[in-house]
Amino acid sequence: MNAFSDAFLYLNDPFNWTGPRGILYLAGQHLQIAGLAMLIGLVVALPPAIWLGHRGRGGAFLLGLSNVSRAVPTLAILTIFAVTSIGFTIWAPVIALAVFAVPPVLANTYVGFREVDRDVVEAARAMGMSGRQVVFRAELPLALPLVMTGIRTAAVQVVATATLASLLGNPTLGTVIRSGFGRQDYGIVVAGALLVAALAMATDALLGTLSWAVTPGQKRVPFGRVRSRRAEAAGVATAR
């Protein structure tokens, strides 16, 4: 309990929140790294997943690649990038976290498109829609629940794992945890852990609200679970 009491005292000290290395600054840098990683991950994962999901090809390969990439430790990728060509810069954790973000977005987007009722797709084509119009006007709105769940899952994981960037000297909320270990002050360690957890939970809540807002009315499941036999069989993330 002493560690939690010390953490409470640390978090209630305004001096720890401000300044060049304060919590607010570290949180901003943490979100910058996580945001860049998510942006790269979305650019890499969404186009092939949408294209293959629309065409109904390459599903086994795509899901297999996604599952294999989940098994690669982020810390290992981070270390490899840091000691090779990228060096100890912000881009080492950004690229490592982007690799970490790709699998849930890739798998959920593909499965989301394959879950769209084929009758809807055929009706859209019968109305004279082009392939692009079918994707963005018929399939994407119906696939959004699973697509957004994949993005939400990836974002929470990236925000939580961005803590590791502090190991390379990049300022994040992990810096607070490292500082606590360095001083052997476990109250600061607990405070840092609580800050990371709070940021991850805030990210989840924000994206959960966004997912609810952009999902068609009948498919809105704000606190439930997106039920999908194909999704469960593929092991993709589902909304909590």
Rounded Cα distance, 111 and 150, in Å: 10
At residue 222, the pLDDT reads 46
Domains of the chain: 2-234 (1.10.3720.10)
What share of the chain has pLDDT > 90, as a percent?
A: 38
161-188: average pLDDT: 90
139-168: average pLDDT: 91
Rounded Cα distance, 222 and 150, in Å: 15
- Region of poorest pLDDT, from 59-63, 150-154, 210-214: 59-63
At residue 229, the pLDDT reads 46
At residue 168, the pLDDT reads 83
Higher pLDDT, 235 or 133: 133
At residue 224, the pLDDT reads 42
Q: How far is the CA of 219 from the CAs of 21, 33, 129, 215, in angstroms?
A: 44, 32, 24, 6
Structure confidence by residue, pLDDT tens digits, 8-20: 999 999 999 987 7
- Region of poorest pLDDT, from 4-8, 52-56, 175-179: 52-56
Owner of token pair 């795509």: 62
118-124: average pLDDT: 83
